[in-house]
Amino acid sequence: MKYSSTISALGLSVVVAACSQESTSPPAQQQAPGTPPAVAENPLFNASTLPHGLPPFDLITSDHFAAAIERGMAINTEEINTIASNPERPTFDNTIAALELAGQDLDRVLRVYYNLSGANTDDTLQAVQREMAPRLAAHNDSISLNPQLFARLDRLYQQREELGLDPESLRALERYHSDFVRSGAMLAESQQARLREINAELARLSTLFSQHVLAEVNDSAVLVDTAAELEGLSAAEIQSTATAATAQGHDGKYLIALLNTSDQPPLSSLSNRALRERIHTTSTARGSRGNEFDTTGIVTDTLRLRAERAQMLGYATHAHFTLENQTASTPDAVNEMLGGIAPVAVANARAEGEAIQALINATEAEPFELAAWDWSFYAEKVRRERYAFDEAEVRPYFEMNSVLVNGVYFAAEQIYGLAFTLRPDLPTYHPDVQVWEVTDADGSSLGLVLTDFYARSSKRGGAWMNSYNVQAGLTGGSKVIALHLNVPKPPEGEPTLLTFAEVTTAFHEFGHVLHGLFSDVQYPRFAGTSVPRDFVEFPSQVNEMWASWPEVLENYARHHETGERIPQELLDRVLAAEQFNQGFGTTEYLAASIVDMALHQLSPEQIPAAPDLLAFEAQVLRDNALDYAPVPPRYRVPYFSHIMGGYAAGYYSYIWSEVLDADTVQWFKDNGGMRRENGQHFRDTLLSKGGSRDAMALFEDFAGRAPDSSHMLRRRGLLVN
């Protein structure tokens, strides 16, 4: 059992740990004790025999999960009981290593279950989520609150300096002990009973929230009557909205689907101001409309339970509880960092707003005051005026397959010596998904990467990476990793053309993929991206640099019709514009981050009631001088999925990680840029280590010094010299 499964139940991680060793569970025709009758052919009962343990997606249906999870919990319970009741004195091998080896059947199933719940859900899978979320939380509690098991752990912990353990094993022991304590192992029995209730309810609320958000996105799609209202969109984009409308039974009309952020991509192109306002208003009202998908009550209940649990465990607030295990360590450190950047960011945003207002005054027959739904449209005009290009001019050079193969993969080949081969012979869970085999520099097969780029109603919003299989020396195994985007699918036969922001996102998520692919640790709990939340974004943000690196950009940025490379003068303008609109981008991000921190530094009694949630959000923005109406938070609280999952009191981590990222980019530049030696050094000292060492120690191993924040500020245009 990898204890990060229990951490997930506590809302500290959205990743469920899994073991990559082949299962030692009973064959499919046998029933584990306590497991209800199930179909013997259930493909989830045994480890996959496909390359690298790729799940047999062609055999798996949503109906298989309930029985497989039941069986996995039953097997895991027996394994834990065996460890806890072992009459021999506790040793590292019969306790810590045994815990790492336990739960493989359950973890293997849960990886597929959670991943498909986000990438390709359906009514059956959502019903399984609602049923199993509190039961899985209870199962995790039965482990973390097992007094016999904790007694063994505690005895080892007290003797840890005398055991002669290697550094990674010692870290595993210390982390297990800390996890059990933070999960309530030292609480009184009555407090543990209440903790079980809280964890079960939080699991139920988290599932309900994610399902409400997905349903609300689909329900809030904006229906448009005529093509004339869509002036500014390309012919292909208009056709996509017509196809979407027809699919929903609205023949002859046009349907604009919403993404999960407050700002919506069509706002940068639509010239119809009334439609822009309708899209923006609909977007920012999600989750607070008082309909069946309203999430405000779910959010406030979640916040109150988190605060209660933190105090029960001896912490002032949930933020104090969460940050204890992060590189930031304390809320004060995060507050100071965010508070120091916010005034500069808002000042830049207001200056950008003044430039946009000047453009409105100069070009509109009847000038109006800049509003949030105007920003993207007129910012694009300012961009064109200042840098003489717009996204429509650039997108033909960013065809999706070229971006992936000639950009993302090309960069990985140059820096790390990797090669990528399409595997159409392997099964996927959706026709739009592709499987790629990754070959290491020495010719060995490193793992599989699944690419899932198109948006659909069964898929949650945003972009992310996750793992279906992980490596660890203790268990063997390999890596199966998925990379997800949410790009609108064009009409049949049309190319998929990306914005530069979408290109950067692809490189970002592939940075997470590399973190997983290069993992070389002994214990599964430390594999890949199993690092502090405010460190996990660092390697992925580093990988963004290759999106605009001249050799890479020139290799993939080719016109999808002519094959012509992007003109150098256009390329120069694209690169020169990278700092454009940074006041807006930084301010919308900081607004969401500061609201997240404010919510999670409240006591249970201070949590606002559901009807007051948005008023609290507004007050926090005012208190921090972030109440600049044209720039709303990137996510408003009712659809802020990050803080209902693994980023609670942790959304700050993107900019915290960017300090390390910007410093690392400078290190590459100072050391010759895109050189195999540099990539190998980054891989050997940091990417391969996962969570096996202290995060900041890993950075210092790589860079040879402490991080320097000036590079991040200069990159964002927030530091003049």
Tens-digit pLDDT profile for residues 107-143: 999 999 999 999 999 999 999 999 999 999 999 999 9
| C-alpha–C-alpha distance, residues 424 and 435, integer Å | 7
Q: What are the structure tokens assigned to 249, written together?
A: 């039974």
Q: Is the pLDDT of residue 270 over 90?
A: yes
For residue 446, what is the enclosing H or E element?
A: strand 445-454
Three-state helix/strand/coil letters over 324-346 = CCCCCCCHHHHHHHHHHHHHHHH
Q: For a pLDDT cut of 70, what percent of the chain falls above it?
A: 94
| C-alpha–C-alpha distance, residues 109 and 74, integer Å | 13
pLDDT of amino acid 25? 30
| C-alpha–C-alpha distance, residues 266 and 243, integer Å | 16
Active site members: 509
CA distances (Å), origin 70, targets 65, 117, 431? 8, 17, 29
Q: Is the pLDDT of residue 268 over 70?
A: yes
Tens of pLDDT, residue by residue over 408-465, are: 999 999 999 999 999 999 999 999 999 999 999 999 999 999 999 999 999 998 899 9
Q: Is the pLDDT of residue 331 over 80?
A: yes
* Confidence class for position 335, pLDDT limits 50, 70, 90: very high
| C-alpha–C-alpha distance, residues 690 and 177, integer Å | 19
Which sequence spans correspond to the domains of the chain? 4-213, 220-285
Q: For a pLDDT cut of 90, what percent of the chain falls above it?
A: 85
Tens of pLDDT, residue by residue over 544-589, are: 999 999 899 989 999 999 999 998 888 888 888 877 898 999 999 9
Smallest Cα–Cα separation from 236: which of 486, 492, 562?
Answer: 492
pTM of the model: 0.86
pLDDT of amino acid 555? 95
* Confidence class for position 476, pLDDT limits 50, 70, 90: confident
Q: Is the pLDDT of residue 319 over 50?
A: yes
| C-alpha–C-alpha distance, residues 157 and 173, integer Å | 7
Cβ atoms 523, 426 nearer than 8 A: no
Residue 291, C-beta contacts closer than 8 angstroms, at least 6 positions apart = 219
CA distances (Å), origin 307, targets 133, 569, 639? 20, 54, 20
Q: Compute the average pLDDT of residues 63-77.
A: 97
Looking at every residue in the chain, the average pLDDT score rounds to: 91
Angle at 147 between CA 143 and CA 152, to 5 degrees: 90
* Confidence class for position 7, pLDDT limits 50, 70, 90: very low
Residue 312, C-beta contacts closer than 8 angstroms, at least 6 positions apart = 184, 187, 191, 194, 195
Tens of pLDDT, residue by residue over 345-382, are: 999 999 999 999 999 999 999 999 999 999 999 999 99
| C-alpha–C-alpha distance, residues 525 and 531, integer Å | 9
C-beta contacts of 602-608 below 8 A and 24+ residues apart: 602/303, 602/307, 602/317, 603/307, 603/311, 603/316, 603/317, 604/304, 604/307, 604/308, 604/311, 606/307, 607/300, 607/303, 607/304, 607/307, 608/300
Tens of pLDDT, residue by residue over 170-208, are: 999 999 999 999 999 999 999 999 999 999 999 999 999
Residue 404, C-beta contacts closer than 8 angstroms, at least 6 positions apart = 451, 506
Dihedral (CA of 526, 659, 10, 479) sign: negative
pLDDT of amino acid 216? 94
Three-state helix/strand/coil letters over 182-236 = HCCCCCCHHHHHHHHHHHHHHHHHHHHHHHHHHHHHHHCCEEECCHHHHECECHH
What CATH number is given for 4-213 in this structure?
1.10.1370.40
| C-alpha–C-alpha distance, residues 479 and 501, integer Å | 28
At residue 422, φ and ψ (nearest 5 deg) are -70, 135
Q: Is the pLDDT of residue 11 over 50?
A: no
pLDDT of amino acid 345? 92
Cβ atoms 446, 458 nearer than 8 A: no
Cβ atoms 192, 143 nearer than 8 A: no
pLDDT of amino acid 35? 42
Tens of pLDDT, residue by residue over 630-659, are: 999 999 999 999 999 889 999 999 999 999
Beta bridge partners of 437: 421, 448
More confident site: 608 or 717: 608
* Confidence class for position 314, pLDDT limits 50, 70, 90: very high
Cβ atoms 515, 467 nearer than 8 A: no
Pairing of strands 480-487, 445-454: parallel
Residue 464, C-beta contacts closer than 8 angstroms, at least 6 positions apart = 118, 484, 509, 512
Residue 474's identity, in one-letter code, is L
383-397, 504-518, 523-537, 591-605: range with lowest mean pLDDT: 383-397
Angle at 146 between CA 645 and CA 89, to 5 degrees: 125
More confident site: 23 or 715: 715
Q: How many CB atoms lie within 10 A of CB 166?
A: 9
Cβ atoms 67, 39 nearer than 8 A: yes
Smallest Cα–Cα separation from 468: which of 129, 55, 118, 67?
Answer: 55
Q: Is the pLDDT of residue 28 over 90?
A: no
Q: What's the farthest any 2 CA atoms get from each other in the chain?
A: 86
* Confidence class for position 719, pLDDT limits 50, 70, 90: low
| C-alpha–C-alpha distance, residues 464 and 642, integer Å | 12
DSSP annotation of 497: B
| C-alpha–C-alpha distance, residues 504 and 548, integer Å | 8
Smallest Cα–Cα separation from 594: which of 650, 540, 548, 539?
Answer: 650
Tens of pLDDT, residue by residue over 392-412, are: 889 999 999 999 999 999 999
pLDDT of amino acid 714? 82
C-beta contacts of 559-565 below 8 A and 24+ residues apart: 559/396, 559/397, 560/396, 560/397, 560/399, 560/402, 560/495, 560/497, 561/396
Q: What are the structure tokens assigned to 69, written together?
A: 């999870």
Q: How many CB atoms lie within 10 A of CB 297?
A: 15
Smallest Cα–Cα separation from 132: which of 102, 101, 108, 106?
Answer: 106
Residue 381's identity, in one-letter code, is K
* Confidence class for position 720, pLDDT limits 50, 70, 90: low
Q: Is the pLDDT of residue 709 over 90?
A: no
| C-alpha–C-alpha distance, residues 177 and 184, integer Å | 11
| C-alpha–C-alpha distance, residues 629 and 508, integer Å | 29
Half-sphere exposure of 250 (CA within 13 A, CB side): 16
For residue 487, what is the enclosing H or E element?
A: strand 480-487
Smallest Cα–Cα separation from 467: which of 11, 4, 20?
Answer: 20
